[in-house]
Structure 1
Amino acid sequence: MKNEHSTGRKNTTAGGGRTRLVRAAGAAAVVLGLTGVSACAAADTGSSSSAGGSSGKVTIAVPSWVGAEANGAVAKYILENELDTEAELKQLDESVAFDALHSGKVDAIMEDWGGAPKKVQLYVEENKTVVEGGDLGVVGHIGWFVPKYLADKHPDITDWKNLNKYKDLFKTAESGDKGQLLEGSPSYTTNDDAIIKNLDLEYKTVYAGSEAAQITQIRENYKAKKPFISYWWTPQWLNADIDMVEVKLPEHKEGCDADPEKVACAYPETPLQKYFNADFADNGGDAAKFLKNFTWTADEQNEVAAMIAGQKMSSEAAAEKWVKANKDVWEKWLP
């Protein structure tokens, strides 16, 4: 997920007053049921669409990873089938989504990992065109992970201080004489190059290109019981199918990631957040109230995400199946 630099290259995050960091979750290869919008269109602040619910339609920005797709699909299904409100999902990178929230081109972001702190400062704290929508209910965490079979064979490999000793296990054609740290998409925010440099680790970040490509590579390595180390995260639906162990990096402390060039610590626990267009939050009626009330657990999100990415169901079908089976959960979200 891109931060406000949106250069298409890997980005770093600064801590500041917020400890939320962007997961380096790669994009799902195909995000079903979403309509695209260009960066130029999203950044155009000269017009508004459904802000405030004036058009009777709610537009939700959906970052391009499957957990966020699960949020959007379930929200859309309930809006349309329980609140008689048309809903549209637009796939947008995180930074562009904040521009679209500001302009009124979208009404809500359901899952933000804190990767656009400058946009939050500008739109939430200064312009007040965007407002906080509360916790999604899911706590995310980024880290470096190895498969359990490797940790069982080499127990000390889960301490970063011993990683250089094992670099040869992780060498690939792409990493040369260094160990490979597998990443997702090069457009997603990560502190890994800084961590590698500042901890004097003989490793190189190698990007699979997307969430789906990273998962494919992990699955292939896991099936063959090959050694690998990967930038990975929770919640993630695949964790129900594979057993991974986190490598302990230096403890995260407030401010340790404030300077992107000097990061030498682990990623923090990250409560995922919702943000709304300010006009929509005030005037969006039952739709706005519903989205404010929308909170679920990582297990619930993973259940829908696994149907989409693991079972290859359409996002609409996955949402419908989950909603019909979990009325006791979502009924509490209704106004």
Structure 2
Amino acid sequence: MRVRTTSAVAGASALLLLTGCGAADMTKQASPFANAQGAKTVTLSVQSWVGAQANVGVARYLLEHELGYRVDTVQVDEVPAWDALSQGRVDAILEDWGHPDQEKRYVEDKRTIAPGGDLGVTGHIGWYVPTYFAKRHPDVTDWKNLGKYADQMRTPESGGKGQLLDGSPSYVTNDKALVTNLKLDYQVVFAGSEAAQITQMKQFAKEGKPFLTYWYSPQWLFEKIPMTEVKLPAYKEGCDADAAKVACAYPHTPLKKYLNADFARTGGRAAAFLKNFKWTTEDQNEVSLMIANDKLTPQEAARKWADRHRSTWRSWLPS
């Protein structure tokens, strides 16, 4: 999960099927169905965080069951996904958290990728503490006071400093620069994936321990572990332009869809459907929770959601 910024490291968490981003290098491998001219096939890039899995699960279910397409999915990190999309190795990305450099290169300059419209969900990355700790120590929600609690946030992995728990190094994250530039006595520790990060957060919560973590919304885990955001210095346009000098909060980012430009022109009803696909944070979280918490497959969760929300998805079907 879960705002991924211009200056941030590209990518998102490797989640498995349990969770809000990383995997194969699609510049070196491709689905046999991608960019298949004239065939009723679609290949969707699926990032490994659960919100992306929810998007793809529902899109795939409806493409197959309502429009008669064969759908292939390939897990791929965020920046390699742009390369794969440009080359026609995948047909669509359904959730991008903001990669202006890639957008300029492929949408504006090369014109090999076409905008697919808004997903309907706004994403935000931030630093969070468990609400049970924030209630006992309300001032922890101001970054200026984090130093007071560094000792309580210390772990064996944080080298004598407070731990700031991140997911995968491939996520969009400014956290190392933020810790340095805000002069905080904290160490960024990468769990390795969203799934591993969630496991650690659940364990801390089970034991009632304090923790400080990079996290994002929308994300289903807020339903299980209430968390309160720490206020960082306010985001202003351009404050994250230099990755090494970032000292501001992450922005709120409307999440976007992108299509391979040839597919956007020749993809027929499938391309039209994906452009029309637009739902709410509540919709995405409903499917995400079924995948992550109820252990349903994305297709099982998609079927349940589709059965309950016919009036929503019927508007996505091309006439």
Q: TM-score when scaled to structure 2?
A: 0.92
- Where 2:16 maps in the other structure, the secondary structure is coil
Whole-Å separation in 1 of the counterparts to 2:174 and 2:225 = 25
The letter for the 2-side match of 1:113 is W
- Where 1:84 maps in the other structure, the secondary structure is coil
Q: 2:197 aligns with which of 214, 229, 232?
A: 214
Q: Could you report, residue by residue, the CA deviation over 1:192-220 in whole angstroms, capped at 9, with x for unpaired residues? A: 00001001001000111111111111111
Q: Please, which moves more after superposition, 263-272 or 234-243?
A: 234-243
Q: Are 1:26 and 2:18 an aligned pair?
A: no
Check the 8 A contact 1:49/1:104 in 2, yes or no: no
Whole-Å separation in 2 of the counterparts to 1:39 and 1:323 = 30
Segments of 4+ moved more than 6 angstroms: 21-24
Q: 1:122 aligns with which of 105, 128, 135?
A: 105
Check the 8 A contact 1:308/1:318 in 2, yes or no: yes
Could you tell me which runs of 5 or more consecutive residues in structure 1 were left unpaired when the two chains were aligned: 2-11, 16-20
- Give the C-alpha shift of residue 107 in structure 1: 0.8
- Where 1:132 maps in the other structure, the secondary structure is strand
Whole-Å separation in 2 of the counterparts to 1:136 and 1:283 = 21
Q: Could you report, residue by residue, the CA deviation over 1:73-98 in whole angstroms, capped at 9, with x for unpaired residues? A: 10000001001111111111111111
Whole-Å separation in 2 of the counterparts to 1:293 and 1:31 = 27
Cα RMSD, aligned residues only: 2.2
2:6 is matched with 14
Matches within 5 A, 1:235-246: 235-246=218-229
- Give the C-alpha shift of residue 22 in structure 1: 7.7
Q: 2:48 aligns with which of 64, 70, 73?
A: 64
Check the 8 A contact 1:52/1:284 in 2, yes or no: no
- Where 1:95 maps in the other structure, the secondary structure is helix
Check the 8 A contact 1:51/1:107 in 2, yes or no: yes
Q: TM-score when scaled to structure 1?
A: 0.88
Q: Could you report, residue by residue, the CA deviation over 1:43-81 in whole angstroms, capped at 9, with x for unpaired residues? A: x8xx99543752220111111111101100100000010
1:157 is matched with 140
Whole-Å separation in 1 of the counterparts to 2:241 and 2:304 = 43
- Give the C-alpha shift of residue 189 in structure 1: 2.1
2:28 is matched with 41
- Give the C-alpha shift of residue 224 in structure 1: 1.4
Whole-Å separation in 2 of the counterparts to 1:37 and 1:203 = 32
Check the 8 A contact 2:26/2:84 in 1, yes or no: no
Could you tell me which runs of 5 or more consecutive residues in structure 2 were left unpaired when the two chains were aligned: none
Q: Are 1:92 and 2:76 an aligned pair?
A: yes
Given the superposition, is the C-alpha separation of residues 269 and 152 from structure 1 closer, same or farther in structure 2, using an over 3 Å criterion? same
Check the 8 A contact 1:53/1:285 in 2, yes or no: no
Whole-Å separation in 2 of the counterparts to 1:61 and 1:173 = 37
Given the superposition, is the C-alpha separation of residues 271 and 226 from structure 1 closer, same or farther in structure 2, using an over 3 Å criterion? same
